[in-house]
């Protein structure tokens, strides 16, 4: 990844930090839009001084098209291009269809699906102008056999998979690949708090998900597009 430029939405979250640090360790320059300063401070504390030089972090609302366009323009001003995009921002909410307020339904769609659409719309013109690129969207293993109880989350993440498959066909002529990574339950501080009594022996490390993302961003994955990889 040396010399390549990647945008990682959600780059200060639990999975996003693992992805960001993995890409920086692999030699990439990484740009992240962030919303929580404390999370950014936690990320920066994990980095070496040299890695911090290759990190560009700017406040931006990933659910607003205008702010994401401004963010991508700032990345382009600094680096001249974008080679990879990882859509790792997202959220989770429980509830069945009848108990989920419409506002919560819309929040899940905005965080998990609309944010992915907005980031792709902002970054793809830069990739296409540069001759190609890689897009990796984070969905969820849970949507392959949907269960009740968190329906808004499930539907929004299923939309990410369908978006990935359709978009891969739209942009392959431009040498842009689009793939999805579907983690099962990840070992994150948030999940540990939410499920303190759960058996964590089969939970997935965020670092393992990050390695799969890094592969899909690399030249080694040039022939992989429209895929949904479970982790």
Between 91 and 225, the higher pLDDT residue = 225
- Sequence-ordered alpha helix ranges (H) in the chain: 14-25, 37-45, 49-53, 65-79, 102-108, 115-129, 151-171, 189-194, 206-217
What is the predicted pLDDT for the residue at 122? 98
- Total length of the chain: 231
The CB-side HSE value for 45 (13 A sphere, CA atoms) comes to 6
Query: Six-digit token pair at 17?
Result: 């930090």
What is the predicted pLDDT for the residue at 146? 85
pLDDT at 217 over 80: yes
By percentage, how much of the chain surpasses pLDDT 90?
A: 85
Tell me the C-alpha to C-alpha distance, in Å, between residue 15 and each of 22, 47, 77, 92, 183.
11, 15, 27, 14, 10
What is the predicted pLDDT for the residue at 207? 95
What is the predicted pLDDT for the residue at 120? 98
Assign 188 a pLDDT band (cuts: 50, 70, 90): confident
Assign 187 a pLDDT band (cuts: 50, 70, 90): confident
Instruction: Read off the pLDDT of each residue in 126-151 and give the average, rounded to a whole number.
Output: 94
pLDDT at 40 over 80: yes
pTM over 0.75: yes
pLDDT 10s digits, 79-102:
999 999 999 999 888 899 999 999
Instruction: Read off the pLDDT of each residue in 6-17 and give the average, rounded to a whole number.
Output: 96
Assign 192 a pLDDT band (cuts: 50, 70, 90): confident
Distance CA 205, CA 22 (A): 13
Query: Six-digit token pair at 140?
Result: 């969820």
Give me Rg for the CA atoms of the chain: 17
What is the predicted pLDDT for the residue at 95? 92
pLDDT at 220 over 80: yes
By percentage, how much of the chain surpasses pLDDT 70?
A: 100
What is the predicted pLDDT for the residue at 123? 98
When the pLDDT of each residue in the chain is averaged and rounded to a whole number, the result is 94
| Beta bridge mates, 34 | 59
The full set of domains in the chain, from first to last, is 5-230 (3.40.50.720)
pLDDT at 168 over 90: yes
Distance CA 150, CA 145 (A): 13
pLDDT 10s digits, 105-120:
999 999 999 999 999 9
């Amino acid at each position: 990844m040396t010399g390549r430029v990647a945008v990682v939405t959600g780059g200060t979250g639990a999975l996003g930090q693992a992805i960001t640090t993995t890409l920086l360790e692999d030699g990439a320059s990484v740009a992240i839009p962030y919303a929580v300063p404390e999370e950014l401070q936690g990320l920066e504390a994990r980095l070496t001084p040299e890695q911090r030089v290759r990190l560009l972090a700017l406040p931006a609302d990933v659910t607003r098209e205008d702010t994401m366009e401004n963010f991508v323009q700032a990345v382009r001003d600094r680096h001249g291009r974008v080679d990879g995009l990882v859509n790792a921002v997202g959220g989770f909410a429980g509830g069945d269809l009848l108990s989920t307020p419409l506002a919560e339904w819309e929040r899940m769609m905005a965080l998990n699906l609309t944010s992915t659409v907005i980031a792709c719309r902002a970054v793809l013109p830069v990739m296409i102008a540069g001759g190609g690129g890689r897009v990796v969207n984070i969905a969820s293993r849970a949507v392959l056999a949907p269960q009740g109880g968190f329906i808004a989350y499930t539907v929004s993440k299923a939309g990410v998979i369908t978006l990935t498959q359709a978009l891969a066909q739209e942009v392959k002529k431009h040498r842009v690949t689009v793939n999805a990574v579907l983690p099962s339950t990840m070992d994150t501080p948030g999940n540990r708090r939410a499920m303190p009594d759960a058996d964590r022996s089969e939970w997935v490390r965020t670092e393992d998900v990050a390695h799969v993302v890094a592969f899909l961003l690399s030249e080694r994955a040039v022939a992989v597009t429209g895929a949904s990889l479970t982790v």
